[in-house]
């Protein structure tokens, strides 16, 4: 009888040993991976919704207004004050400025 209880205790003890590892993976998922997936979806949605006239910021810090969007995932930006036009990859756009920031 005691031998049977010891085996059941040892099996449950080994399962309890994996519990902290499972909890760590769950914490990592909810604190790291889930927010990264949400941010990636928001960024992709923003890139898909770009249109001419939007004022954007690129990954390099360049602020410009979209003049045209190419079929090959490029965008032409007009940079002030000299109205220089740059062709950039659409994926280099990191954010779209709101209407208040344009003024």
pLDDT at residue 16, rounded to an integer: 75
d(CA 14, CA 55): 58
Cα 101 from Cα 7, distance rounded (Å): 68
pLDDT, the chain, mean: 85
- Residue 76: CB partners within 8 Å, gap ≥ 6? 66, 67, 68, 69, 70, 85, 86, 87, 88
Q: What is the pTM of this model?
A: 0.66
- Residue-level pLDDT at 103: 47
Classify 68 as helix, strand or coil: strand
**Of 23 and 2, the one with more pLDDT:** 23
């Amino acid at each position: 009888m005691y031998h049977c209880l010891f085996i059941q205790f040892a099996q449950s003890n080994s399962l309890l040993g994996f519990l902290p590892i499972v909890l760590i993976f769950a914490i990592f998922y909810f604190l790291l991976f889930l927010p990264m997936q949400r941010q990636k979806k928001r960024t992709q949605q923003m890139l898909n919704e770009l249109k001419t006239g939007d004022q954007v910021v690129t990954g390099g810090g360049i602020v410009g207004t979209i003049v045209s969007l190419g079929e090959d995932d490029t965008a032409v930006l007009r940079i002030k004050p000299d109205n220089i036009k740059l062709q950039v990859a659409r994926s280099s756009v990191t954010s779209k400025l709101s209407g208040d920031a344009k003024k």
